[in-house]
Chain A
Amino acid sequence: MAAVEVSGLTVRYGQLVAVHDVSFSAAAGQITAVLGPNGAGKTSTIEVCEGYRRATAGTVRVLGLDPATQQRLLSERMGVMLQEGGVYPSARVLDTVRHYCALYGKGVDPAALVQQVGLADRRTATWRRLSGGEKQRVSLALALAAAPEVAFLDEPTSGVDVNGRDTIRGIVRALADGGCAVVLATHELDEAERLADRVVIFDKGVVIADGTLAELRRGHDEIRFRSSPQLDTIALANSIGMVASRVGSDEYVIDAPPHPRLMAQLTAWLAEQGHPLTDMRAGAQRLEDVFRRLTADKPAADDPEADR
């Protein structure tokens, strides 16, 4: 049984349909990224899973519990990281973590937790004096204080510097490797690409894709390269037998598997024409490209705002 099971979930705010007939699941020991632009419905969905919000229709089970009616039981086993805030501005880091460790009562050592998120030297600082990245680390520590079986993390690396991101990614990965079902809500595709085992993509209140990264990328290989802005794409297509599309001032894409013969033809043609080759990437599409492809031709009828 999946740790998180969402089936036919709909959330309405008055006449606005924020989430429409959404279904997906998240397994223990995996990181499931819930992706989508702001207003896509991911936060409403996560808040129903956490027990903050009631579903208008559909069923949600987290660790086999109904968050709407069994939130107290669920809270003992669930870690939550809010997108922002959640801590008293005048509260100190170690005091706050110690408080949450006491609330969860799982025997987690608060000092070790502060050390783990890299804030040992900031343990006496108050929340209001922390940087955005440091606040995210404290929020993550509060989620870890639950020694959770399921964790809902909202934008965990938002505002965090590069080194801090690596620390947080390592902690989240270790959390999943320890058997926790991690549900990661983010609009940063790069973050999901680096961390997620499974991706659920939201757009305008509905799920438009659900699968592993490999599944979402399957059948969508490409060769992407940078060269001269004056490249004659028609001549190139005639030479290699494939259409090359200009996607930037000096960036081009060929929608084809990166076969060695095709790569050789491409580089040979560039050399013959005297064009430079400043960058080249071949293989599966980036998640960003997958997302663009999936959201590009979405029918207007799927737009829940149309229900207003």
Chain B
Amino acid sequence: MSRFRSQLRTELQLVARNGEQLLLTVGIPVLLLVFFSLVDVLPTGTDDPVDFLAPGVLALAVMSTSMVSLGIATGFERSYHVLKRLGATPLGRGRLIAAKIAAVAVVEMVQFAILVPVASALGWSPGATNWPAAIGAVLLGTMAFAGIGLSFAGRVRGEINLAALNGIYLVLLLLGGMVIPFAKLPGAIRAVAHGLPSGALADVLRDTLGGGGAQPGTSWLVLAVWAVATPLIAAALFRWD
């Protein structure tokens, strides 16, 4: 078995064994999607809440996996000296990162395979869809969020990393246009929200999966900047031990 495949298999085994990660990556997005689609309490501005929520929850799923799940797991791996031990094997940094990204991609595919049918069952029927563009947006979002997660994981202690990423997750969830429309946010906060990676990804996904984006051109640009900047920051900050 190749080194990459062995590492990927290990990463996926660990994700599958960590119940709290499965709750975060699958449970919470499904719960939010189902609850707020059935209980019409959010100011979505659409006839059917699921039309607004489905792209936002897909963006949330990407953020959960690539930022919070990856970041927390990697932070603890550093605390437990797992990365240090792997650093003394022929695996190499490149294969390790590639395996982690591949594992994130696999988990995201599973998330989408669950969320899209659930959304459809709840009545989501996007009109004009551009799945290739949506996949591109997911890739950019994954890079941006993974960069944020690994920036924290590579620098701060495991417990602080856990708290910090969960806090950022909550802020990005509330301000990122995922479940609450930008239009409902106060003016100053709205401007900041449009510049956040969560806001940009949710807006782009909303545009590519139904055509309801607020400012898709700007959001693509914002997303691309985050996707380039945060991995560079992570690479600069990252420590293996």
Contacts and interface: CB of A to CB of B under 8 A. Distances in A.
Contacts of B92: 72
A78 interface: yes
Contacts of A236: none
B84 A52 contact: yes
B18 A90 contact: yes
Contacts, number: 70
A52 B13 CA distance: 27
Interface residues of B, number: 27
Interface in A57-87: 72, 75-76, 78, 80, 82, 84-87
Nearest to A80: B88
Nearest to A85: B81
A76 B6 contact: no
Interface string B76-87: 110011101111
Contacts of B82: 85-88
Contact of A52 (B77, B88, B90): B88
Contact of A103 (B3, B76, B80, B241): B3
A104 interface: yes
Contact of A102 (B3, B13, B86, B241): B3
Contacts of B76: 89
A275 interface: no
Contact of A72 (B10, B13, B18, B90): B90
B241 A80 contact: no
Given A103-B3, A103-B6, A90 B88 contact: no
Contacts of A50: 88
Contacts of B3: 102-103, 105
A233 B87 CA distance: 59
B7 interface: yes
A64 B80 CA distance: 31
Interface residues of A, number: 27
Contacts of B139: none
A99 B7 CA distance: 7
Contacts of A88: 10, 14, 77, 80, 82
Nearest to B2: A102
Given A82-B85, A85-B81, A103-B3, A91 B13 contact: yes
Contacts of B39: none
Interface string B8-26: 0110011001100000000
A95 interface: yes
A205 interface: no
Given A85-B80, A102-B1, A102-B3, A91 B10 contact: yes
A86 B81 contact: yes
Given A88-B77, A88-B80, A99 B88 contact: no
Given A52-B84, A85-B80, A104 B13 contact: no
Interface of B: 1-3, 5-7, 9-10, 13-14, 17-18, 76-77, 80-82, 84-92, 241
8 contacts: A52-B84, A85-B81, A85-B82, A88-B10, A91-B13, A91-B14, A100-B89, A105-B90
